[in-house]
């Protein structure tokens, strides 16, 4: 497993120049696909469900943010002529007589998202673009952006797209200022309704926690405060937003692997190094430790570059590392992937900024093992320095709300996610196939957990303890069985336990291991392991309840490689209702010496654990789920 030295390199100046070079290469290549009037960038690839007209606008708007950050950080120096190019595109895209006129927000909702990127880009480059723009073009751009005023949006992170667009219009002197002021107050109040605790926002009214919590819900308040300046509204919200960003970043830096890999969880993962955006937001806002945030952002970008995310001809594709079309969602098109530009927002700061001058600081994963509970998403985060892996044990996130009994989404409802693995991206209706605690129906189909009732997470003496209660269910049949589940974590080792209210066969599905060659397997008596050259995933039954060990294999099921293996433990028959059962589970680097499972004795609801680091604990499982 490759590791990164605890004395990070390169230095800040070199790091900035590398990011600057990347931005210029991405932009130069993207502009090769520009339309004659420069209003569209039609990148090669399969269009999203929204069609090529929206895709062309996405390509323009999302790369414009990158060009704007680059030129702003260079204080207007623009040897490539990017602003002139985008200025022509703004003129053509808003010209009703142009064949390249943009899709109206009245005809399609997606331009509302892109409007925010236009607003950010125009704000960052105002002295060199907007202020020098022809009055007629300025008027047309404002008229186009004003279509957002009073318009509806989905109840999620889209609220910020209207806020940023309308703030730019307010700054630019829109005649509809009264309407904008009303919208801004309503929207900021809605943002407040999405706040949970400890700096975290939900991307909607349910349990919607993923990268959007950072790359929109934390980044856009920072950008809005820059745009709103010293206005009374900004003065009111600034302390709150900065305090929340600072607190969020305390957790966020623990979610980056030593090799710079971000957590593979949630939607829109094709945006790749946009995962660095909240770290840059902290740098821009002066929140957190600049040297550490900058180092984390640099590593995330470097991780994707090292794994071929940018093609030899300087393009981003639909995928994670290289192209992997199965990751595309209905709104994913060849231009939309350039939201990765957010991962380079730090370029908006000039080279002599204190943020670039601060010495680099190692990430939490570099120095020692760490474990923390994050209450809002219901995560226990365990990072182990010996292999550089960060694991998230997911007790509280399912992209739903309590009582919404539907199929598990593999990107949200798995028990575990990490910086070294990806869930098997099987159709949700197939049921969980990895990283799950499931019951089996009479046909052997695994249960789903989405819509569970309650959860808890905590850390006690270096051990993470989490639980959820709810109903294991089968969406096709509507059958439900009440269950309680507990996850106990120390370092790379975990215990997963469950009890059901009705007799059912049961299974625990382990961490998936993906590689370009088929992972090896080792089956034992109530135990199973799979391994690649990089990772090792193991399961061992507690007692004799889960005696049936097997390995399931999947082809081209994750973007990390062509061969995936998942260890599984199953019961031979139905388990006694109300009885606790479980297994030891571990994910570790393959070059780390195999660890011996902790000594665990389960008597009724009392679990005695002798961890291999010498710590002994006794836990009452009934008390945890009470």
Q: What is the pLDDT of residues 542-590, one digit of tens each?
A: 998 999 999 999 999 999 999 999 999 999 999 999 999 999 999 999 9
Q: CB count, 10 Å around CB of 381? A: 23
Here the tokens at position 85 are 């190019």
Residue 26 has, within 13 A of its CA and on its CB side, a CA count of 28
For the cut 70, the answer to whether the pLDDT of residue 6 exceeds it is: no
- SS3 at position 275: helix
Query: Mean per-residue pLDDT for 608-622?
Result: 95
Asked whether the beta carbons of 590 and 534 are under 8 A apart, the reply is yes
Picking from 274, 179, 289, the residue whose alpha carbon sits closest to that of residue 217 is: 274
Query: Mean per-residue pLDDT for 524-533?
Result: 95
Distance CA 372, CA 387 (A): 18
pLDDT in tens, 45-74: 999 999 999 999 999 999 999 999 999 999
pLDDT in tens, 467-480: 999 999 999 999 99
Q: Write the CB contacts of 32 (distance below 8 Å, at least 6 apart in sequence).
A: none
Question: Which strands sit side by side in the sheet containing 616-620, from one edge to the other?
Answer: 599-603, 606-610, 616-620
% of residues, the chain, pLDDT over 90 = 94
pLDDT for position 509: 98
Asked whether the beta carbons of 380 and 254 are under 8 A apart, the reply is no
Here the tokens at position 615 are 């710590």
With the CA atoms of 502, 510, 303 and 45 taken in that order, what torsion angle do they form, in degrees rounded to the nearest 10? -70
**Partner residues linked to 49 by β-bridges:** none
For the cut 60, the answer to whether the pLDDT of residue 343 exceeds it is: yes
pLDDT for position 8: 44
pLDDT for position 51: 96
pLDDT for position 364: 97
pLDDT band at 594 (very low <50, low <70, confident <90, very high): confident
For the cut 50, the answer to whether the pLDDT of residue 9 exceeds it is: no
Query: What is the full DSSP assignment across 149-212?
Result: TT----SSTTHHHHHHHHHHHHHTT-TTHHHHHHHHHHHHHHHHHTEEETTEE-SSSSS--STH
Query: Mean per-residue pLDDT for 617-623?
Result: 96
pTM of the model: 0.96
pLDDT for position 7: 41
Asked whether the beta carbons of 437 and 469 are under 8 A apart, the reply is no
pLDDT for position 552: 97
Average pLDDT, whole number, for the chain?
Answer: 95
Query: Mean per-residue pLDDT for 278-282?
Result: 98
For the cut 80, the answer to whether the pLDDT of residue 4 exceeds it is: no
Asked whether the beta carbons of 457 and 430 are under 8 A apart, the reply is no
pLDDT band at 12 (very low <50, low <70, confident <90, very high): low
Query: Mean per-residue pLDDT for 133-142?
Result: 98
Here the tokens at position 540 are 């061992």
Angle CA 112–339–217, to nearest 5:
70
Q: Write the CB contacts of 160 (distance below 8 Å, at least 6 apart in sequence).
A: 116, 187, 191, 216, 217, 220, 221, 224
Picking from 385, 383, 387, 384, the residue whose alpha carbon sits closest to that of residue 374 is: 383
19 torsion bin: left (phi>0), alpha (psi -120 to 50), beta (else): alpha
pLDDT for position 11: 63
pLDDT for position 597: 86
pLDDT in tens, 438-475: 999 999 999 999 999 999 999 999 999 999 999 999 99
pLDDT for position 3: 32
Asked whether the beta carbons of 606 and 618 are under 8 A apart, the reply is yes
pLDDT for position 367: 86
pLDDT band at 14 (very low <50, low <70, confident <90, very high): confident
């Amino acid at each position: 497993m490759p590791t990164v030295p605890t004395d990070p390199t390169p230095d800040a100046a070199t790091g900035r120049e590398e990011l600057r070079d990347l931005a210029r290469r991405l932009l130069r290549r993207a502009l090769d696909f520009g339309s004659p009037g420069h209003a569209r960038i039609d990148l090669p690839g399969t269009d999203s469900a929204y069609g090529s007209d929206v895709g062309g606008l996405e390509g323009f708007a999302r790369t414009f943010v990158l060009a704007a950050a680059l030129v702003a950080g260079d204080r207007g120096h623009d040897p490539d002529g990017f602003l002139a190019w985008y200025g022509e595109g703004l003129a053509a895209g808003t010209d009703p007589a142009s064949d390249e006129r943009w899709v109206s927000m009245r005809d399609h909702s997606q331009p509302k998202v892109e409007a925010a990127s236009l607003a950010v880009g125009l704000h960052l480059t105002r002295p060199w673009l907007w202020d020098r723009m022809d009055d007629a073009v300025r008027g047309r751009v404002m008229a186009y952006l004003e279509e957002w005023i009073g318009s509806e949006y989905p109840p999620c992170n889209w609220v910020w797209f209207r806020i940023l667009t309308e703030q730019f219009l307010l700054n630019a002197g829109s005649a509809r200022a009264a309407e904008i002021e009303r919208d801004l107050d309503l929207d900021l109040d809605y943002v407040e309704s999405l706040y949970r605790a400890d700096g975290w926002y939900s991307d909607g009214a349910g349990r919607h926690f993923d990268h959007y919590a950072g790359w929109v819900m934390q980044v856009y308040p920072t950008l809005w405060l820059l745009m709103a300046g010293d206005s009374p509204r900004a003065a009111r919200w600034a302390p709150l937003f900065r305090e929340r960003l600072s607190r969020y970043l305390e957790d966020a830096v623990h979610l980056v692997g030593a090799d710079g890999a971000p957590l593979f969880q949630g939607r829109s993962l094709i945006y790749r190094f946009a995962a660095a955006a909240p770290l840059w937001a902290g740098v821009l806002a002066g929140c957190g430790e600049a040297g550490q945030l900058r180092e984390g952002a640099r590593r995330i970008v470097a991780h994707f570059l090292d794994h071929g995310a940018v093609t030899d001809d300087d393009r981003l594709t639909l995928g994670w590392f290289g192209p992997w079309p199965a990751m595309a969602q209905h709104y994913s098109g060849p231009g939309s992937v350039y939201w990765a530009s957010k991962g380079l927002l730090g370029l908006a700061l000039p080279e002599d900024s204190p943020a670039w001058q601060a010495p680099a600081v190692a990430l939490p994963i570099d120095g020692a093992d760490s474990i923390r509970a994050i209450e809002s998403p219901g995560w226990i985060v365990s990072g182990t320095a010996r292999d550089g892996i960060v694991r998230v044990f997911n007790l509280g996130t399912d992209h739903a709300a309590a009582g919404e009994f539907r199929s598990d989404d593999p990107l949200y409802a798995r028990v575990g996610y990490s910086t070294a693995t990806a869930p098997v991206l099987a159709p949700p209706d197939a049921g969980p196939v990895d990283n799950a605690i499931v019951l089996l129906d009479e046909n052997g189909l695994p249960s789903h957990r989405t819509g569970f009732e309650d959860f808890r997470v905590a850390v006690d003496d270096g051990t993470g303890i989490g639980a959820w209660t709810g109903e294991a269910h089968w969406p096709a049949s509507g059958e439900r069985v009440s269950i309680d589940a507990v996850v106990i974590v120390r370092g790379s080792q975990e215990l997963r336990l469950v009890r059901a209210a009705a007799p059912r066969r049961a299974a625990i599905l382990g961490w998936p291991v993906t590689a370009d060659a088929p992972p090896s397997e080792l089956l034992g008596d109530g135990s199973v392991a799979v391994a690649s050259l990089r990772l090792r995933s193991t399961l061992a039954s507690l007692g004799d309840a889960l005696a049936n060990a097997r390995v399931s294999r999947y082809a081209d099921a994750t973007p990390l490689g062509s061969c995936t293996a998942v260890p599984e433990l199953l019961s031979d028959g139905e388990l006694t209702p109300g009885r606790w059962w479980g297994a030891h589970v571990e994910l570790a680097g393959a070059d780390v010496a195999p660890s011996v499972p902790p000594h665990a004795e389960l008597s009724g609801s009392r679990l005695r654990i002798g961890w291999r680091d010498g710590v002994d604990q006794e836990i009452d499982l009934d008390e945890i789920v009470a």
